Chains A and B, each alone.
Chain A
């Protein structure tokens, strides 16, 4: 089974801090995604990457950046955290062959004070 590991389950940060959310997958998948999930709004795509050093903006990229230096690792960066970025962040991975499905990590719940 594909394993997607998010390094931090719970984080509390202060407004203006720089925040790194790390995601690692172990199945050599090409495609990786970052979503945020908020009550009543569902999952919204922030960024995705289909190869090393490649990235594409999703629906809500403002205030976020990403890094994919190695195939297995996809990082989400909040350059200057704000209270409206308090949310659940979900990383997902997907291969180009086979079942064509998304597999999610356990999620990182970020609170910005």
Chain B
């Protein structure tokens, strides 16, 4: 069974702080990693994809990948109340995408 694990939260951070979300995966052969954001009652939307070790930055978001340790993280700088959502980590395994259970983030004004 291919597994992707995340802390379910809720993770609460004050507005303007850095939110750090973590994800571990079990399949060492995984090559593609994704972070999706899901607002309550809505479908997931892609925030970041990362394919090689290191950091990838896009605006306030930074994805970090460490294949040796089998973890992926997402940093959100200058967190805003509008960032309050559930963040899903996804790993491509063959032709499938395996999702973690999600971490609920709450950004407090």
Chain A residues with CB under 8 Å of chain B are: 31, 33, 35, 40-43, 45, 48, 50, 56, 58, 90, 92, 94, 99-107
Complex alpha-carbon distance, A45 and B1, angstroms: 13
- Contact yes or no, A100 B49, CB < 8 A: yes
Complex alpha-carbon distance, A44 and B88, angstroms: 12
Set of chain A residues within 8 Å of B43, measured between Cβ atoms:
90, 104-107
Chain B residues with CB under 8 Å of chain A are: 8, 32, 34, 42-46, 49, 88, 90, 92, 95-102
- Given A42-B88, A43-B88, also A103-B99 (CB < 8 A): no
- Given A58-B96, A103-B46, also A41-B101 (CB < 8 A): yes
Complex alpha-carbon distance, A48 and B98, angstroms: 12
- Contact yes or no, B45 A104, CB < 8 A: yes
Complex alpha-carbon distance, A103 and B97, angstroms: 12
- Contact yes or no, A48 B96, CB < 8 A: yes
Set of chain A residues within 8 Å of B42, measured between Cβ atoms:
106-107
Set of chain A residues within 8 Å of B96, measured between Cβ atoms:
45, 48, 58
Complex alpha-carbon distance, A45 and B97, angstroms: 8
Complex alpha-carbon distance, A35 and B98, angstroms: 10
Of the candidates B8, B32, B95, B102, the one whose C-beta lies within 8 Å of that of A31 is B95
- Contact yes or no, B95 A48, CB < 8 A: yes
Complex alpha-carbon distance, A90 and B43, angstroms: 7
Set of chain A residues within 8 Å of B97, measured between Cβ atoms:
33, 45, 92, 94, 102
Set of chain A residues within 8 Å of B98, measured between Cβ atoms:
45
Set of chain B residues within 8 Å of A101, measured between Cβ atoms:
34, 46, 49
